Amino acid sequence: MALLYAVLAMASGVFYRELTKFNNFTAKTALSVVHTHYFLLGMVFF
């Protein structure tokens, strides 16, 4: 489960970075915390 959450965290981080870069978006979004929360869930709880 920890490995799955690590992969999800990396994928969500890349998705967030590429989506905002592609759309020239600079404001804060909810996607910016998904990467951190997945890493926290995966590494601490599992």
- pLDDT tens, position by position, 22-38: 999 888 888 888 888 98
Tally of structural domains, the chain: 1
Q: Are 42 and 6 in contact (CB under 8 A)?
A: yes
- Average pLDDT of the chain is 89
pLDDT surpassing 90 at residue 10: yes
Phi, psi of 23 (to 5 degrees): -95, 5
User: Nearest to residue 6, comparing CAs of 21, 19, 14?
Assistant: 14
pTM for this model (two decimals): 0.78
- What range does the domain containing 27 cover? 2-45
